[in-house]
Copies of this chain bind each other. A is one copy, B any other.
Amino acid sequence: MRGILIKGNENKAKYFIREVGGKKPVFICAIGSSEVGKIPGISAAGKNPELTDYTPPADVELLLYGRCKCIDSVPVTPEGIPTPALITMSALELANIPIFIVAGGLRIKPHAPFIDLGGMHGGDIRKGLAVANVKEIMERAELIGKMFAKFSDYLVIGESMPGGTTTTLAILLAMGIDAMGKVSSSMPNNPHNLKIKVVEEGMKAIGIKFGDFKNDPIKAISHLGDPMIPAFSGLILGAGEEIPILMAGGTQMVAILAIVSAINNKVLKNLFIGTTRWLIEDKSSDLLGIVKQIHDLGILIANLDFSTSKYEGLRMYEKGFVKEGVGAGGAAIAAILKSKGKITPKILLKRIEENYERLMNI
């Protein structure tokens, strides 16, 4: 299919394209916030670390309303590069795909309707206390996943969770997956050393080492995760035995994959990853390498190309800024598939530029 590349288990990726082409997906954005996003240098999902609490609600407002409400403009990196929610919104809008928000735990609530799972803003994993009531959040998300599976063709699930690649690293190491230096970053210079330091501090605080939580995904999230993870995982556990799910994201998807495969491996047959070319081409992370340590999934890649964009803020995506997030790659793939290829990367870029102009008052 034009605009979609494949990697990982290519047969499975082709199967997904055949299976869901022309069908109607539902896009769900799982969100959360935590103190990890506010550790200086960890996340570029906000103009400064303190603002990262506003990024998930602002992202989903953008998806639902085409503009943010809890902040004046759109979330940007410290360099002023716009949130990938701009891509997601444009793709879902073009393809008329319904959107639901599921909140695992937030400090700032979106000015928008969302599915509340009863969770809270996450802690600082350096202290080894990350998410309260993991089981409850996961069980409620599972129920929601079950409900969607009763009447949806397939799900595309994205996330907005500042600091999420650091908690991903923590979860993966705790569960015995070699992820050191392999998780992605929204910055062009991936702060691997800082992430490793944060994770090691957290593991030390609770007295565990590599692999100690291999069979205890709930403990891994409770001590080292973030509130988005049980929400996203629960959705998969609820829907994944029944319908295909495109996990829309970068290396954070692997933490989810580790969690769900430790709880119910019957969902694996229905799981696929959808991401962006920028994420796959990134030299400072290794999505494929960590995915295959868990399961040989089909991976679909939105072949977006912003190099010819009129706007520098968008061209910067080609230089390794942002790369992925808020399900951008998966949403683009879903738009292409739902339209049977009528929506192309070129058409997507045009709509993204139009929305960028409107939002930035250019």
Contact = CB atoms under 8 A, between A and B. Distances in A.
Contact of A24 (B98, B114, B151): B151
A115 interface: yes
B151 A98 contact: yes
5 contacts: A98-B148, A102-B113, A109-B118, A113-B115, A116-B116
A151 B150 contact: no
Nearest to A112: B140
A143 B112 contact: yes
Contacts of A147: 98-100
Interface residues of A, number: 28
Contacts of A144: 113
Interface in A64-118: 64-65, 96-100, 102, 109, 111-118
Interface of A: 24, 26, 64-65, 96-100, 102, 109, 111-118, 140-141, 143-144, 147-148, 150-152
A117 to B, nearest CB: 5
Given A98-B147, A147-B100, A115 B117 contact: no
A98 B24 CA distance: 17
A113 B99 contact: no
A150 B115 contact: no
B118 A116 contact: no
A121 to B, nearest CB: 16
A114 B147 CA distance: 12
A150 B113 contact: no
A143 B113 contact: yes
Given A98-B151, A115-B115, 12 more contacts: A24-B151, A26-B151, A64-B143, A65-B143, A98-B148, A109-B118, A112-B140, A113-B117, A113-B118, A113-B141, A115-B116, A151-B151
A293 to B, nearest CB: 32
Nearest to A64: B143
B140 A97 contact: no
A116 to B, nearest CB: 4
A141 B150 CA distance: 22
Contacts of A96: 150
A98 B151 CA distance: 8
A26 B147 CA distance: 9
A140 B116 contact: no
Contacts of A99: 147
A121 B115 CA distance: 18
Contacts of A113: 102, 115-118, 140-141, 143-144
A140 B98 CA distance: 14
Nearest to A144: B113
A147 B27 CA distance: 10
Nearest to A147: B98
A98 B152 CA distance: 11
The 3 closest A-B pairs by CB, nearest first: A98-B150, A113-B140, A98-B147
Nearest to A96: B150
